[in-house]
Amino acid sequence: MSVRGPRKGENYELSIDLNSEYREKRKDAIKRTIASMTVGKDVSGLFPDVLKNMQTDDLEQKKLVYLYLMNYAKTQPELVILAVNTFVKDTADSNPLVRALAIRTMGCLRAEKIIDYLSEPLKKCLEDDNPYVRKTAALCVAKLYDLKPELVIENGFLDKLMDLIADSNPMVVANTVAALTDIHIAATSQPGTSSSDPGYFHITTAILNKLLIALNECSEWGRVAILNALARYVAQDDKESEHICERVVPQFQHVNGSVVLAAVKVIMIHMRGVRREELVKQLVRKMAPPLVTLLSSPPEVQWVALRNINLLLQKRPEILSNEMRVFFCKYNDPLYVKVEKLDIMVRLASENNVDALLSELKEYASEVDVDFVRKSIKAIGQTAVKIDAAAERCVNVLLELIGTRVSYVVQEAVVVMKDIFRKYPSTYEGVIPILCSNLDELDEPEAKASLIWIIGEYANTIDNADELLGIFVDSFVEESYPVQLQTLTAVVKLFLKKPDSSQAIVQKVLNTATKDCDSPDVRDRAYIYWRLLSMDPAAAKAVVLAHRPPISIPRTTVPPALLEELLGEIGTLASVYHKPAETFIGKGRIGADAVRKGDLGDDQFSAQKALQTVAAGQQAENLLDFDDSTNMEGQPSGLAATQVLSQTPAAASLLSGTSNNPLDDLVSIFGGGGGGLTPTPAAFGGGGTFVAPAFGGGATPMTPAPPMPAPARANSQSEDLLGLF
């Protein structure tokens, strides 16, 4: 004792007490040691003193000492050896609780030296006649594998685990399944081992039947483990798929939400193999009530459920079609729950329930949280775009909201109106004066840009369009870039529609944009317009006033292949984030996972994924597909786009300098932009689909997935452009 530390301070006092001759005093000292350990103080110096108290009849004290050991065993490996004897002795104790405690703790010590002593007792415990000891030992194998895989293999523990699947006790079966799954995942995520290994936990038909039997008897957590294993099983034929579904469906009635979601997962996976239509319908019908019930869980569970319901609706929109009311937000729901509910409500909107929905959304728009209010207003816009028959009612609600004159409400409503105009061109022109009268309220770029776009689009019906745009032209240099881009385009539109009265303003804006503006995007767009206008006004008209495709709400927010993958992971983090697991569980696993997928011949998914990549690549070739601000994958960088350009014959001839037309300049501008001046291809955006880049932000919620018709159209337009010369 004299060797260690100073003879004063907290640790010194503790060590005195740990060596006290009174039992109670020693126990109290252990408690205080654990308390210090919890708050993060270093009490590793007391290791030998604590160790002395390990040999005791007092179970509580034993647990405390074990807790201490688990914490510091790693840093004091040579001292842990002293504890080994007690551990080994305990694994042979007559009390099963002590045996289980010893084997559980040994697995957690994680010191090289003690592991060698673990194998023998573990072997015995796996064959213990007490189920409590067996279930603890089963998990201990997973712990050992985590530490030293070769020991597990050498000792044949895996075969022992496989035997335990047939155990008479359901809890043992459940823990065995959990341990095997854990080992399986650990083994297959090692890049080196996975390529040749089929994995350690291959579920055969024999195992399947044992699991189905144990499922009905074991504890709630065990059910989740077993259901997870069932989800991995590949059914031999449709009979087997049906059988699995029928056996799993009763789990929908379980009180534990995670069991319900795990059951939903298994059903969603094995339903793919079911051929009988009426059974599929029946399964889907049975799925709805338990999902709704999850909404009366605590908010966190509710949120997980909502995120998953959102996914399920993307695959099977009919599931909850009559249940929209249960998604109405309660005033005191947490914000994250409210936002999810909004999204689902829009998904469930139909002509039958749109009135109820709109009056709810209007209610939400008067709440306190700015974010939620904005999302509610967005939802109104999405409803309008989704349901043609309700568009007018939506517009009326928006007008009422604009009437409140609350700044952020008005601004969001303006942005949303822009989307409605895009979907229903020239339908609600009567609204424009009201929007314009709120011009002074707007201070956010997106709202301003939206209003300017509307003015430009309807310049011929707005008498004082030049006046209104004039305001923005006057303050042009102070505005943000998106507003500048919109102003520029709107003024050009105005000029094309009313050439007589707006000569001066277009001159002014082009001048300002090309001379005083420091954004290359804006400057480039201004140059393009300028040249177009001066060379060929008809061409300018064809480009600037081109017909735009109507927007629509995509049915899915994730690509179909990913959706299928996520539906196979219902209840997990991946399904909550709507992202594949590789994106958030650490770099090391990405490669490994990919390898595993290749190995297991997960053909359907990889094929679909590959197709998607190809599609993304094709999109990248479409020079004028500037929708890419909404499209996260496979974005063509400016440079890449230029290279593609040189591959198309027309462009190649341009680049080779054989032609002497003005587009040469254009191309050089574009090339320069691609080379580094412009981070996005938006510089060119003014030409064809100017709405897309400028409204990237605004349109994002409406078109999160790349709209398929757009590239094709953009392509034809790019040909138009090239054809002009």
Partner 1 sequence: MISAFFIFNQKGEVLISRLYRTDFKRSIADVFRIQVVSNSDVRSPIITLGSTSFFHVRVNNLYVVAVTKTNANAALVFEFCYRFINICKAYFGKIDEESVKNNFVVIYELIDEINDFGYPQNSEIDTLKSYITTESIVSSAIIPEESSKITTQATGATSWRRADVKYKKNEAFVDVIETINLSMSAKGNVLRADVDGHIQMRAYLSGTPECKFGLNDKLVIDKNKDGGTGDGVELDDCRFHQCVRLHDFDANRTISFIPPDGEFELMRYRSTSNVKLPLRVTPSVTEVGTSQVQYSITVKANFNNKLSANNIVLRIPTPLNATAADCKVATGKAKYVPAENVIVWKIARLQGGQECTLNATASLASTTTRQVWARPPIDVDFEVLMFTASGLIVRFLKVYEKSNYQSIKWVRYLTKAEGTYQIRF
Under a CB-based contact definition with an 8 Å cutoff, are residues 68 and 101 in contact? Answer: no
Interacting span for partner 1 (CB under 8 A) from 99-107, 552-560, 624-632, 649-657: 99-107
- The structure tokens listed for 84 are 């080994």
331 contact partners, CB below 8 Å, separation of at least 6? 367
27 contacts 58 by C-beta, under 8 angstroms? yes
Q: Cβ 74 to partner 1, closest distance in Å?
A: 8
Q: Return the residues of window 173-192 that contact partner 1 according to CB under 8 A.
A: 175, 178, 182, 185
Q: Does 405 bind partner 1 (CB under 8 A)?
A: yes
- Residue 444 in contact with partner 1, rule: CB under 8 A: no
User: Which segments within 474-523 are labelled E, that is strand?
Assistant: none
Q: Is there binding between residue 349 and partner 1 (CB under 8 A)?
A: no
Q: Does position 572 bind partner 1 by CB under 8 A? A: yes
C-alpha angle with apex 603: 597 to 609, nearest 5 degrees?
Answer: 80
555: which 2 tokens? 């049915």
Position among 8, 22, 330, 518 found at the interface with partner 1 (CB under 8 A): 330
| C-alpha to C-alpha distance for 529 and 531, rounded to whole angstroms | 5
CA 36 to CA 607: how far, in whole Å?
A: 55
Stretch that binds partner 1, among 8-16, 32-40, 447-455, 642-650 (CB under 8 A): 32-40
Task: Confirm or reject binding of residue 587 to partner 1 (CB under 8 A).
Answer: yes
* 440 is a contact residue toward partner 1 (CB under 8 A): no
List the interface residues with partner 1, window 198-217 (CB under 8 A).
216-217
- The gap from C-alpha 603 to its chain's centroid, in whole angstroms, comes to 23
* Smallest distance from partner 1 to CB 179, Å: 8
Specify the residue, 303 or 695, whose C-beta has the smaller distance to partner 1.
303
Give 409 or 490: the residue with its C-beta nearer to partner 1. 409
The first and second tokens of residue 503, run together, are: 């000569």
CB of 701 to partner 1, least distance (A): 17
Using the rule CB under 8 A, is 261 a contact of partner 1? yes
Distance CA 413, CA 417 (A): 6
What residues numbered 109-138 form the site for partner 1, per CB under 8 A?
A: 110, 130-133, 135-136
Phi/psi at 622 (5° precision):
-80, 100
Cβ atoms of 270 and 245 closer than 8 Å: yes
Contact stretch for partner 1 (CB under 8 A) within 245-253, 313-321, 616-624, 685-693: 245-253
Stretch that binds partner 1, among 400-408, 459-467, 503-511, 709-717 (CB under 8 A): 400-408
Q: Is 229 among the residues that bind partner 1 (CB under 8 A)?
A: no
User: Rule CB under 8 A: is residue 22 a binding residue for partner 1?
Assistant: no
Smaller CB separation from partner 1, 515 or 577: 577
Per CB under 8 A, the segment of 107-115, 448-456, 471-479, 653-661 that binds partner 1 is 107-115
Asked if residue 172 binds partner 1 (CB under 8 A), the reply is: yes
Rounded distance, CA 35 to CA 41, Å? 9
**Residue 564 in contact with partner 1, rule: CB under 8 A:** no
d(Cα 641, Cα 646) in Å, to the nearest integer? 9
Binding test (CB under 8 A) with partner 1, winner from 262, 398, 420, 616: 262
Structure tokens at 554: 């995509």
Cα distances from 82 to residues 91, 118, 187, in angstroms, run 16, 14, 32
Token digits of residue 680 = 């996005």
Q: Could you say which of 148, 151, 220, 605 contacts partner 1 (CB under 8 A)?
A: 220
Q: Which residue has the tokens 């985590």?
A: 146
Nearer to partner 1, 293 or 514 (CB): 293
- Six token digits for residue 520: 């290359």
Instruction: Give the residue, chosen from 102, 171, 544, 645, that forms a contact with partner 1 under the rule CB under 8 A.
Output: 171
With contacts defined by CB under 8 A, how many residues of the chain interact with partner 1? 108
C-beta closer to partner 1: residue 142 or 510: 142
Cβ at position 605, least distance to partner 1 in Å? 16
When binding is defined by CB under 8 A, the residue of 293, 514, 612, 648 that contacts partner 1 is 293
Q: Which of residues 642-671 bind partner 1 (CB under 8 A)?
A: none
In the bound complex, what is the minimum distance in angstroms from residue 497's beta carbon to partner 1?
A: 36
CB of 187 to partner 1, least distance (A): 14
Give the DSSP H or E segment for 156. Answer: none
Question: How close are the terminal C-alpha atoms of the chain, in Å?
Answer: 94
518: nearest Cα among 561, 468, 484, 549: 484
CB atoms within 10 A of CB 296: 10
With contact defined as beta carbons under 8 Å apart, do 192 and 234 qualify? no
Q: Are 446 and 415 in contact (CB under 8 A)?
A: yes
Site residues for partner 1, window 450-489 (CB under 8 A)?
Answer: none
Q: What's the farthest any 2 CA atoms get from each other in the chain? A: 106
Which listed range, 153-161, 266-274, 353-361, 444-452, lies at the site for partner 1 (CB under 8 A)? 353-361
* Least gap, CB of 590 to partner 1 (angstroms): 11
Q: Which of 92, 335, 610, 611 binds partner 1 (CB under 8 A)?
A: 335
325 is a contact residue toward partner 1 (CB under 8 A)? yes
Establish if 375 lies at the interface with partner 1 (CB under 8 A).
Answer: no
- Closest separation in Å from C-beta 46 to partner 1: 17
Helix pair angle (503-515, 465-474), 10° resolution: 20
Q: Which of residues 45-74 bind partner 1 (CB under 8 A)?
A: 57-64, 67
Say whether residue 574 binds partner 1 (CB under 8 A): yes
DSSP type of residue 700: T
Residues 138 and 176 sit within 8 Å (Cβ to Cβ): yes
92 counts as binding partner 1 under rule CB under 8 A = no
Stretch that binds partner 1, among 28-36, 190-198, 374-382, 599-607 (CB under 8 A): 28-36
Shortest Å distance, C-beta 711 to partner 1: 33
Single-letter residue type at 381: G
Which H/E stretch holds residue 655?
helix 649-655
* Nearer CB in complex with partner 1: 351/400: 400
Q: Which CB atom, from 111 or from 553, has the smaller least distance to partner 1?
A: 111
Amino acid of residue 619 = Q
8 A C-beta contact, residue 623 and residue 684: yes
Candidates 15, 69, 152, 170: give the one binding partner 1 (CB under 8 A): 170
d(CA 574, CA 231): 15
Binding mask 296-315 toward partner 1 (x if CB under 8 A, else -) reads: x-xxxx-xxx----------
Of 538, 425, 545, the closest CA to residue 492 belongs to 545
Nearer to partner 1, 201 or 529 (CB): 201
Does residue 557 bind partner 1 (CB under 8 A)?
no
Which segment (196-204, 287-295, 346-354, 424-432) binds partner 1 by CB under 8 A? 287-295
Q: How far apart are CA 139 and CA 107, in angstroms?
A: 9
Contacting partner 1 (CB under 8 A), which of 366, 437, 480, 716? 366
Name residues whose C-beta falls within 8 Å of residue 177's C-beta, 6 or more positions apart in sequence.
Answer: 165, 211, 222, 225, 226, 228, 229
Give per-residue burial for 83-95: e unless 16+ CB within 10 Å, then b.
bbebbbebbeeee
> Quick one: 224 or 692, whose CB is closer to partner 1?
224
CA distance 465 to 459: 6
Out of 91, 188, 438, 575, name the contact with partner 1 by CB under 8 A: 575
Half-sphere exposure of 281 (CA within 13 A, CB side): 3
Question: Which H helix or E strand runs over 465?
Answer: helix 465-474
With contacts defined by CB under 8 A, name the span among 219-227, 418-426, 513-521, 617-625 that binds partner 1.
219-227
The answer to whether 581 contacts partner 1 (rule: CB under 8 A) is: yes
